[in-house]
């Protein structure tokens, strides 16, 4: 009788210790990502350039609170990740909105087509997997290989978006008359103004 009772107490104590260690262990883990509305894409909390530490709270805080087509990034490129895809999107400001770089499809306007309802244009937030907040940071090698290419692609595409924005702002009979003014109205950012892989990774 006493053997069963001690066995039960031992098992209960062991289970309690295990549960407490798991709970305390999970408290020690810091979130690596946070979802941003309206599409629910993940923004990196692991990047000091994109989520600097708030001096008051001591918590990594994203530079932006949402990622829609009119979001203006205070520094670029930003990072937005749909965990269903193996790589993130790199985000850039362009005249008239926000653009993203996809290493397969290149530069396009944010958001990707699958994130909006084709009939209404309303956001279709992505589904996040269990434990999304603790998913690992983007592979540093991917950042090192893709950010410089994305920055160059952005610089190359910028004037096309600037021309569109400039043309849309003119009456139809004036569009295209002063293309040289585009560079004055929407000057192309210089390459050195963009974040480097080292800056994103916090090296």
Class of residue 41 by CB neighbours under 10 A (exposed 0-12, middle 13-18, buried 19+) = buried
- Residue 202, Ramachandran bin (φ over 0: left; ψ between -120 and 50: alpha; else beta): left
Range picked from 5-9, 141-145, 187-191 for highest mean pLDDT: 141-145
**172 or 62: which leads in pLDDT:** 62
173 pLDDT exceeds 90?
no
The residues with which 44 forms a beta bridge, in sequence order, are 33
pLDDT computed for residue 146 by the predictor: 98
Query: Mean pLDDT lowest for which of 18-32, 55-69, 87-101, 186-200?
Result: 18-32
Residue reference for tokens 């790199």: 90
Q: pLDDT exceeding 90 applies to what percent of the chain?
A: 69
Distances (CA, A) of 93 to 49, 100, 169, 191: 16, 9, 18, 13
110 pLDDT exceeds 90?
yes
pLDDT computed for residue 17 by the predictor: 45
In the predicted model, what is the mean pLDDT of residues 5-15?
53
Q: What is the pLDDT of residues 179-192, one digit of tens each?
A: 556 666 777 899 99
Q: Which of 26, 31, 28 is nearest to 132 (CA)?
A: 31
| The model's pTM | 0.80
pLDDT computed for residue 25 by the predictor: 37
pLDDT computed for residue 162 by the predictor: 85
137 pLDDT exceeds 60?
yes
pLDDT computed for residue 97 by the predictor: 93
pLDDT computed for residue 78 by the predictor: 98
Sequence spans of domains, the chain:
1-29, 31-201
pLDDT computed for residue 16 by the predictor: 41
């Amino acid at each position: 009788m006493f053997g069963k009772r001690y066995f039960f107490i031992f098992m209960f104590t062991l289970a309690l210790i295990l549960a407490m260690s798991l709970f305390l262990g999970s408290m020690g883990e810091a979130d690596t990502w946070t979802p941003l509305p309206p599409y629910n894409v993940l923004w990196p909390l692991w990047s000091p350039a994109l989520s600097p530490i708030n001096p008051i709270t001591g918590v990594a805080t994203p530079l932006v609170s949402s990622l829609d087509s009119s979001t203006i990034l205070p520094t670029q490129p930003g990072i937005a990740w749909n965990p269903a895809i193996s790589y993130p999107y790199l985000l850039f400001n362009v005249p008239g909105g926000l653009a993203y770089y996809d290493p397969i499809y290149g530069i396009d306007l944010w958001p990707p087509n699958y994130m909006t309802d084709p009939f209404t244009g309303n956001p279709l937030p992505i589904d996040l997997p269990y434990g999304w907040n603790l998913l690992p940071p983007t592979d540093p090698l991917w950042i090192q290989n893709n950010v410089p290419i994305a920055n160059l692609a952005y610089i190359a595409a910028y004037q096309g978006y600037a021309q569109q924005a400039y043309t849309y702002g003119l009456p139809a009979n004036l569009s295209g008359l002063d293309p040289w003014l585009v560079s004055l109205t929407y000057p192309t950012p210089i390459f050195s103004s963009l974040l480097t892989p080292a800056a994103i990774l916090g090296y």
